[in-house]
Structure 1
Amino acid sequence: MTAEQRFTKIKKNVWKMEAGGRVYSVKKYASLAQAVKVRQLHQLLNVHHFPHIVSVLEEKDPLLIMQPWLEGAKAVNFKRRIDRIDSFNALQALHDTNSYIDWPSMSFLPHYHMLEKWEVRLARFMELREICQQFLSPKMYEELLVYGKEALKISKKQPSSNNSLTLLHGDVVHHNILRDGSGLIRFIDFDLACLGAEEDELVLWMHRVLPQITYNPSFLMGEHPALQHLSNQALAKLLYPNEMLREWLHLLSLPAAQQQRMVSKLLLFTETALSQWPRLWYDVERMMK
């Protein structure tokens, strides 16, 4: 740190840096491969003037990613219709870059295999049964397990989509989707960016949004007509309790004190979701062609 630079820690390995009258976001990566991936995909998108990102600036340290700080930017709120519409449109635009960028030829992008990843997640949840049941009732635990197993079984029976492979952001949680001061949607944190089918990321986006709209897929498809063309396999993937399983596994990885602070909120989220899951299941099965 020099006299001309002032750093404010935002979270682990991320700082707000003020220097020369300007403000930047600085992230230090432990993995060179990940830093290279993030830098190169931003460079490719910038060459084509893709608007929904924040430019990566030149930096001597290959492990550092530095970007202009978006003053006044706010994370989208999936409860708001305008934020759902604008984030969805920006996500489609990101996927559509495969019409002018040959993403499958980019060796720095790992392939995304959703069902394999979800099988591993469910297996881990089963391994941690005893610890889980210190927080979850046996009934809730079994419901999650049954829904997970059945959703995977149904998904595997359906033919996969014919989507060509494209760039996926990889983590479409609301705080990685910002609305800047001019109202433009910007994606940040491409750490999990990968190569995959567009449908898979639309499914992940829907998993994030559904809890905010009382798990009503029909409403969401009316709001976003493009979702009406999802394949049967994509629809079946909506049945997998991904958000709940991921959040419980995350909680179980934390120190006991942090677990106690978070468990009440997660239990409420889980109870609410499980109460809606039979209706979600019915709605989705009706949609499958």
Structure 2
Amino acid sequence: MLKTHGTKWFVKRYPNQLKFLLQERLIGDLIQANFHHVLPFHPIHDREMLLFEGFPIGITTWLETSRPISYDHPKDRQDALNVLKKFHSVSKRIRHSWTEEVPQYKWLKKWKKRMIQFQYNLPYLQAFIQPYYLYTYLEWGRWSLKELKSINHPAFATCITHGDVAHHNFLRGKNGRVYMIDFDLMSRSTEMTDDLQYANRILPYVNWSLSELKQLDAFRKYENELLFYIGLMYPTDVFREWNRFIREDQYYKQRVWGYLMNITIRQFPERMQFNQELHGEVRRIINQLQGMNPNID
């Protein structure tokens, strides 16, 4: 935190100039399009690039926050989702040349890499978790990836996505407005990639209820979307968190142990039921498609 002339600013170091410039351009274009759920950069960035020990430094408005956003609270879940969907609707309309430098999100490649790492870690993980659970999650991941690859889905990007919709990347100001922060993982993709990630983040807090997920206005457009249901079967949180567990030190392992037991073991019956409901939706959609086109296998 930096304080000048009584005004507070947030200071962040970026890994390279391109990362900084892309986020600066994005924030500027969002604000110009009247999307005021982001924090503006200091005007000094209009004149010069700030460097510290060779790395670019970004200075943004300091936000006085109320209590942290928690996906355990229905209002927080809804407010964060509303802001995310507003962001998508605005980012779809950004057509400036700088967007060509934003990396395209290869989500299936990332998911495969994450699953392979989880599979590699299985011999170590079996010291902590019964193999039945581990191999069930692995089978769900394999099935999901296999089916996603078999579907002819559009590879083109329709908008800029945030890339990390964890609760800590949404802040509620004392004015009540919810803000998005940390666009380090921004990419060109379809909004469904953010939506799938958001759904996976909130599902543990709604007891893996597909019906509650489908009641969200933002997700109703996926009612008959195979990609969405199959994507939800991929246990991204289990793979991500256990892979990190293996990487981190003993202090981290002790700190997250209860959380990992919760998402992996205690929620397993609800996740199994959720998975069965997803398979039911997939069969329903396939039957509809076959009714419209008998040549579909």
Q: Which bracket does the TM-score occupy, shorter chain normalised?
A: 0.7 to 0.9
Unpaired runs of 5+ residues, structure 1, are 1-15
Shift in alpha-carbon separation, 1:272–1:159, aligned structure 2, 3 A: farther
Task: Give the drift of 1:263.
Answer: 2.2
Task: Give the drift of 1:247.
Answer: 0.7
Aligned residue for 1:6?
Answer: none
Aligned residue for 1:32?
Answer: 17
Cα deviations by residue, 1:113-151 (Å, 9 ceiling, x for unpaired): 211110000011111222222322222221221111112
Question: Structure 1 residue 233 and structure 2 residue 227: aligned?
Answer: yes
Shift in alpha-carbon separation, 1:99–1:36, aligned structure 2, 3 A: closer
Answer with 76-85 or 86-95: which moved more. Answer: 76-85
Shift in alpha-carbon separation, 1:214–1:163, aligned structure 2, 3 A: farther
Cα deviations by residue, 1:23-55 (Å, 9 ceiling, x for unpaired): 111111222221122112112212222111111
SS at match of 1:64: strand
Aligned residue for 1:175?
Answer: 168
Question: Structure 1 residue 61 and structure 2 residue 50: aligned?
Answer: yes
Aligned residue for 1:76?
Answer: 69
Aligned residue for 1:3?
Answer: none
> Is the 2:14–2:20 Cα contact (8 Å) retained in structure 1?
yes
1:155-194 equivalent positions in 2, closer than 5 A: 155-160=148-153, 165-194=158-187
Task: Give the drift of 1:267.
Answer: 1.9
Aligned residue for 2:123?
Answer: 130
> Is the 1:159–1:233 Cα contact (8 Å) retained in structure 2?
no
Task: Give the drift of 1:282.
Answer: 1.9
Aligned residue for 1:247?
Answer: 241
> Is the 1:38–1:190 Cα contact (8 Å) retained in structure 2?
yes
Q: Which amino acid aligns with 1:66?
A: I
Cα deviations by residue, 1:141-168 (Å, 9 ceiling, x for unpaired): 2122111111212222334269851010
Number of aligned positions between the proteins: 273
> Is the 2:163–2:186 Cα contact (8 Å) retained in structure 1?
yes
More helix by share: 2
C-alpha distance in structure 2 between counterparts of 1:177 and 1:184, whole Å: 10
Q: 2:78 aligns with which of 82, 85, 96?
A: 85
Answer with 166-175 or 44-53: which moved more. Answer: 44-53
Task: Give the drift of 1:104.
Answer: 8.2
1:203-218 equivalent positions in 2, closer than 5 A: 203-218=196-211
Percent identity between the two aligned chains: 24
* TM-align CA RMSD: 2.0
> Is the 1:103–1:166 Cα contact (8 Å) retained in structure 2?
no
Question: Structure 1 residue 94 and structure 2 residue 87: aligned?
Answer: yes
Q: 2:138 aligns with which of 142, 145, 155?
A: 145
Q: TM-score, normalising length from structure 1?
A: 0.87
Shift in alpha-carbon separation, 1:204–1:103, aligned structure 2, 3 A: farther
C-alpha distance in structure 2 between counterparts of 1:193 and 1:184, whole Å: 22
Q: 2:259 aligns with which of 260, 265, 268?
A: 265
Answer with 67-76 or 175-184: which moved more. Answer: 67-76
Shift in alpha-carbon separation, 1:156–1:256, aligned structure 2, 3 A: same
C-alpha distance in structure 2 between counterparts of 1:285 and 1:139, whole Å: 20
SS at match of 1:65: strand
